[in-house]
């Protein structure tokens, strides 16, 4: 019987294997020796392709980010729809690889995202109710909201309820329990409404001369 041989070592193979390890075992389980074992090579062989562990994690973050589907701008739709859809797509991508959420916090590849931000800035430039001075607030705020939300959701048990406050004690916190009971939105719907509220708030503040 022929023996299985390890794949030819390359940057792409190393990064894909690192991502697979994190997807399966978690970020904390990822190490250079474990990666070498998964690839069937000695750990020093990895350093022919990457400087160190952090260098690999930078590339893992890029792979995850590039999985995000970029929406098409619809001329007949409100300007906010593009940013809501983009944020939702990015959140879904992170949650598909929820064990890498912490990697994105530390190694977010702004260089890869620059063309996407340029497109977003061009769209914002066409919105008369949002001044140029508020564009970075929107772009940076959406990034923080999306990654932060995904990081919080990724840290929750996968078998838990799909709610923002899963363990409310109605006896100790009756008002909060009532609010949770009145909420009809799941986690993604809550995220969508949060993004819409943020964008509407920036636009309203600009109209009122606060930006």
Tell me, yes or no, if the two domains 11-50 and 69-207 fold the same way: no
Q: What pTM did the predictor assign?
A: 0.86
CATH entry 3.30.1330.40 includes domain 69-207: no
Segment 68-82, tens digit of pLDDT = 999 998 889 999 999
CATH entry 1.10.8.60 includes domain 11-50: no
Yes or no: say if 142 and 195 are a contact pair by the CB < 8 Å rule.
Answer: yes
Segment 110-159, tens digit of pLDDT = 888 899 999 999 999 999 999 999 999 999 999 999 999 999 888 876 65
Own/partner contacts of 125-131, CB < 8 Å, gap of 24 or more, are 126/79, 127/79, 127/203, 129/203, 129/206, 129/207, 130/79, 130/202, 130/203, 130/206, 131/206, 131/211
pLDDT, greater one: 119 or 2: 119
The domain segmentation of the chain, as residue ranges, is: 11-50, 69-207
């Amino acid at each position: 019987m022929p023996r299985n041989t390890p794949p030819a070592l390359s940057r792409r193979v190393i990064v894909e294997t690192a991502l697979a390890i994190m997807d399966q075992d978690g970020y904390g389980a990822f190490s250079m020796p474990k990666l070498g074992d998964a690839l069937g090579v000695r750990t020093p062989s990895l350093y022919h392709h990457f400087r160190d562990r952090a260098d690999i994690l930078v590339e893992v973050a890029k792979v995850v980010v590039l999985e995000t589907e970029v929406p098409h701008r619809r001329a007949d739709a409100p300007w906010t729809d593009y940013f809501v859809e983009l944020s939702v797509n990015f959140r879904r991508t992170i949650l598909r690889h929820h064990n890498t959420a912490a990697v994105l916090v530390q190694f977010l590849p702004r260089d890869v995202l620059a063309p996407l931000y340029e497109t977003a800035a061009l769209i914002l430039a066409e919105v008369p109710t949002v001044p140029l001075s508020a564009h970075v607030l929107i772009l940076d705020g959406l990034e923080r909201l999306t990654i932060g939300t995904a990081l919080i959701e990724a840290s929750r048990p996968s078998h838990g309820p799909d709610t923002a406050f899963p363990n409310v004690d109605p006896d100790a916190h009756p008002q909060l329990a009532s609010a949770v009971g009145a909420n009809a939105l799941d986690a993604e719907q809550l995220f969508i409404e949060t993004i819409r509220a943020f964008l509407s708030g920036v636009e309203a503040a600009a109209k009122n001369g606060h930006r």
